[in-house]
Amino acid sequence: MTSLRRIELSDIKLNMIFSAPVYFDDGKYMFLAEGKEVKPYHLAALKKWSVPYLLSRGQAIEQGEGSNIERMTGFDKRRLAQAKMTGEDSDDIEELEEL
């Protein structure tokens, strides 16, 4: 298993996406899920909570690698369409649409 790599907060930028989950400095609690974008509220939380650094087994992904992001996150357009048709939980549908 690959060890966790330290990510300095100065390296965390708005809209970044990582190839693996990103954890708080304790290595136990997840800060950001694999394939999710860093949003303004993520950056604000890091500053507010004085988090010294983050940890991940992955790396930042270039935004142009959209097809790779979809594959890594398990995104499935058919699942999204089916969820809309069957009326699955609206939170699940919104999460799929964000991908």
List, for residues 77-98, the tens digit of each pLDDT value: 555 555 556 655 555 555 545 5
| d(C-alpha 33, C-alpha 44), whole Å | 17
Q: What is the pTM of this model?
A: 0.62
pLDDT at 36: 95
Distance CA 16, CA 1 (A): 24
Is-contact 23 54, C-beta < 8 A?
yes
Average pLDDT of 11-28?
A: 95
Q: What are phi and psi of 42, to 5 degrees?
A: -65, -45
